[in-house]
Amino acid sequence: MSGIRSKTGKSFQLAATLLLAAFVGLGAACPAAAQNLVYANPLAKNHFQLGVLAEEWIDQVQRATDNRVRIRHVPGGSLLKLENMIEGLRAGVADLGSTNVAASSRQLPIVSTLSGTADLTLGNQIDTVGIALVFQKLLEEFPQITQEFRDINLVPVVWVPVFTFAILSRTPVVTLADLPGKKIRAFGPNLPKILSAAGMTPLSVAAGEVYTSLQTGVIDAVFTTPGAMYSLRWYEQGRHILTVGPRWGAQLMGVGDGYFFNADSWNRIPAGDREIITRVSREFTLNAGKRMQEDGENSIKAMREQGVTISNLSEAETAELARRTGDFTLVAEQTINGFGGPGTAIVGRYRQLVADYVAGRLR
């Protein structure tokens, strides 16, 4: 009898062992739990840079990770607004979000200097495709740029270059002689200096107040991108556009708009999926340059069809404006050097990369 018990006990023990092994095997075969993340968009869902393109990027990330990383888009500033996006992301209010970092000189001194500096000379030779390529190279070659994000618990993943800025005016503007005395909405460290050099008076006006400010004459003009002029319908109150250059106008030295992860949320994503997101995002940044160039050109075309006049500063007048403002690239170099950054190296490399793009060597 004891032998029977012993044999039966061994049989039960063997069965239990096999059952446990089966469960362990099933557990190893099961995929890791999906990462359900929240993307905070401070602007409307149909805003091209932060809404439309973000939706496309989210879709690409989800497909590339086989839905192991899922991202919910919360637009309209209902979760985080532009003015508190960085602090909100640092605090973990959302897993990732988008904003323009040009005004974040205290927290992000290098990237804010580059993305807030308009280059009236070399910057008039490249488009958004070019600046996307140039900036991507700078990110790869100067880890100090992305390190300043990590220092404040953020991880940049996507950069969306903006089309060149132009002047939208209530009254005709064709040459430099038409600009003195006009009150114009502007922002950032360097853009107002260009307008002041042209004899204009830069004012700070919230984006949501621009339409009525133009309508009532509180301001005479706005300095922004054609895409913003068109999507926000500001062209209904300003029927005249002047580019700051002989073609599209001056590009910025860096890219300010981007999508940024809270570092803790980023680190919770499995390493393999982080690598996939990084690859997808790099390709997306370069493609975003093409998309933004198309959006800018299409916006200009659409406004022209609505009866808006489009004028360009001549080469001579652009050179005169650059003479009045001084070399902003040199100021950027000195600014970055001033807080211990590699300003000379970054700006020197920027100039070389722009020249390579113009010559067709950077693609």
What pLDDT is stored for residue 32 in this prediction? 60
Contact 23/62 with Cβ under 8 angstroms?
Answer: no
Radius of gyration from C-alpha coordinates of the chain? 26
- As a residue count, the chain comes to 363
What pLDDT is stored for residue 207 in this prediction? 80
pLDDT tens digits for range 191-217: 788 899 999 999 988 888 999 999 999
Q: Measured in Å, how far apart are the chain's first and last C-alpha atoms?
A: 84
pLDDT tops 90 at residue 106: no
What pLDDT is stored for residue 14 in this prediction? 44
Q: Which is higher by pLDDT, 132 or 8?
A: 132
pLDDT tens digits for range 27-86: 444 456 789 999 999 988 988 899 999 999 999 999 999 999 999 999 999 999 988 999
Domains of the chain: 166-252+297-324 (3.40.190.170)
**Model confidence, pTM:** 0.82
Give the β-pairing of 96-100 and 257-262: antiparallel
**98 vs 154: CA distance, rounded Å:** 11
**130 vs 81: CA distance, rounded Å:** 30
Give Cα 241 to chain centroid, integer Å: 24
pLDDT tens digits for range 307-321: 999 999 999 999 999
pLDDT tens digits for range 110-124: 999 999 888 888 888
Q: 222-242 as b/e, with b when 16 or more CB fall inside 10 Å?
A: bbbbbbbbbbbebbebbbbbb
Least confident of 17-26, 143-152, 246-255: 17-26
